[in-house]
Amino acid sequence: MNEASLIELRGIAKTYGRGDAVFHALRGVDLRIDRGEFVAIMGPSGSGKSTLMNLLGCLDTPTAGSYLFNGIAIESLSKDQRSLIRRHALGFVFQGFNLLARTSALENVELPLLYRGVPARQRREMARDALASVGIPNKARNTPAELSGGQQQRVAIARAIVTGPATLFADEPTGNLDSKTTVEIMELLCKLNSDRGISIIMVTHEDDVAASAKRVVRVKDGLIASDERVGELKVIG
């Protein structure tokens, strides 16, 4: 594995069902992502992009093939071991924000630290720093119902980065936002990538959102159809 590599997929396949009902979600995907990259994954419904995202995020395992994350063979790990990888190395942001409704922004951001057993005072300090880093230091006491959609997504991003993960997975992070707020959230993600060196892997169906990434991988029929970096396009097949 190359020292710069964060992720290497080799011949990754994922099938669901059996016999006549079998569905080949992924059909032998090869993909390498280096540390510090900002990659957008695109594709129509049923293309395999969500399955690919679940595998990359250690939420599922492949039917065949090899997935190396920081040199670790993920497919050989137990469910609990994959959970530890998610908890200590990855951050997740979702379209629906997934915030606890009756809990303040600060307490929402503290949750990953609580699971790690971080002392209360240190949790609050780290959560306040995370809220400041996403531009809403004055919203710590507000509940999600008292925040705009964009502010809620900022809280979700703060929660995702509060533990200092090297890699952030964003699943349609602007899907519930208007165009102005979408631009603001994408600028924030770009800043986290450029200033902190956080590797970002994002699923989106919007071309203007994907344009913020430095690389766009398009999935079709369970295969990589194209892999485009800034100024370079590679068509597969």
The answer to whether position 124 is within a domain reads yes
CATH number for the domain that contains residue 125: 3.40.50.300
**Can you give the residue range of the structural domain that contains 43?**
36-60+79-235
Number of structural domains the chain divides into: 1
Q: Which residue has the tokens 């699971």?
A: 115
Residue 87 in any domain: the answer is yes
Q: Which of 176, 141, 165 has the alpha carbon at shortest distance from 155?
A: 141
Nearest alpha-carbon partner for 84 in 99, 69, 64, 103? 69
CA-to-CA distance for 28 and 30, rounded, in angstroms? Answer: 7
In a domain, residue 186? The reply is yes
pLDDT of 231 reads: 58
For residue 19, the model assigns a pLDDT of 85
Classify burial at 214, counting beta carbons within 10 Å of its beta carbon; exposed 0-12, middle 13-18, buried 19 or more: middle
Any domain includes 27: no
Q: Is residue 193 part of a domain?
A: yes
Beta strands (DSSP E) in 55-166 are 64-69, 72-73, 90-94
Task: Name the burial class of residue 111, with classes exposed (0-12), middle (13-18) and buried (19+) by CB atoms within 10 angstroms of its CB.
Answer: middle
At 138-197, the pLDDT tens digits run 999 999 999 999 999 999 999 999 999 999 999 999 998 999 999 999 999 999 999 999
The conformation of residue 76, written as its DSSP 8-state character, comes to G
Task: Judge whether 3 lies within some domain.
Answer: no
Model confidence pLDDT, tens digit, residues 9-64: 999 999 998 888 889 999 999 999 999 999 999 999 889 999 999 999 999 999 99
